Amino acid sequence: MECRFCYGLHFEEVFGQHLIDGEILKDISDHLTSKSPTFYPFVLSFHGGVGTGKSYVAKLIVEAIYPELGVKSSNVHLFLPSLHFSNNKEFSSPTKLVEWIKEKMTYHPRSVFIFDEFDHLPTSIIHAIKFGINYQRGSKDRVNARRAIFILISGIGTDKINQFVYDSILNRNKREDISRNDFDDIDNYWRF
């Protein structure tokens, strides 16, 4: 399958976020064009403070994959804790969320699930999302998680990120010299 995504995403629109360019663009393109994807969906985890472009980058990714409708596509599912997971809401039950995710991956294998403010979700919902990410098709169902994308947006590690960048600047290092590997300890802190 020719991937429109390969040509549709331009990170030049995002100022100062060199870490999303290059490797991530290649990783997403590889996932979308692979003839034999892994058994699991592709997961992106964006960390940082308010206003750093995490949600904007997620929107750019979705618009590149689904240029006609972007986030309004029936294949794109955006979740906010206060809107979708508080008491008496449709997904207040983790079981309902798991079944819903499985259904979406069955009928729309290229579904994109965006969980904004991931760090504000109840633990039970995080476990349900984890189940959706780690779900492998059983012999009796038709769920195919291989083509799905999960984007997790959170403020986890913001203080550590800010401190690392500040220290780098004090040491006269260029911002562009910072790599994704410099933040592995932050990602490992909450990895599930």
Cα 37 from Cα 119, distance rounded (Å): 28
pLDDT in tens, 58-108: 998 898 888 888 889 999 999 988 877 776 566 768 888 888 888 898 888
**What integer pLDDT is reported at residue 60 of this predicted model?**
86
CA 107 to centroid of chain Cα atoms: 20
Which has more pLDDT, 73 or 177?
73
CATH label of the domain that carries residue 125: 3.40.50.300
Could you tell me if 146 and 38 are in contact, meaning their C-beta atoms sit under 8 angstroms apart? yes
Percent of the chain with pLDDT over 70: 76
pLDDT in tens, 155-174: 888 888 888 888 888 988 88
Could you tell me if 144 and 106 are in contact, meaning their C-beta atoms sit under 8 angstroms apart? yes
Q: Look up tokens 């189940």; give the residue.
A: 131
**What integer pLDDT is reported at residue 32 of this predicted model?**
82
Closest CA relative to residue 105, chosen from 42, 153, 152: 42
Could you tell me if 126 and 12 are in contact, meaning their C-beta atoms sit under 8 angstroms apart? no
Domain count, the chain: 1
**What integer pLDDT is reported at residue 113 of this predicted model?**
95
**What integer pLDDT is reported at residue 95 of this predicted model?**
86
Cα 97 from Cα 99, distance rounded (Å): 5
pTM: 0.84
CA 129 to centroid of chain Cα atoms: 12
pLDDT, mean over the chain: 79
Enclosing domain of residue 144:
5-190
**What integer pLDDT is reported at residue 188 of this predicted model?**
58
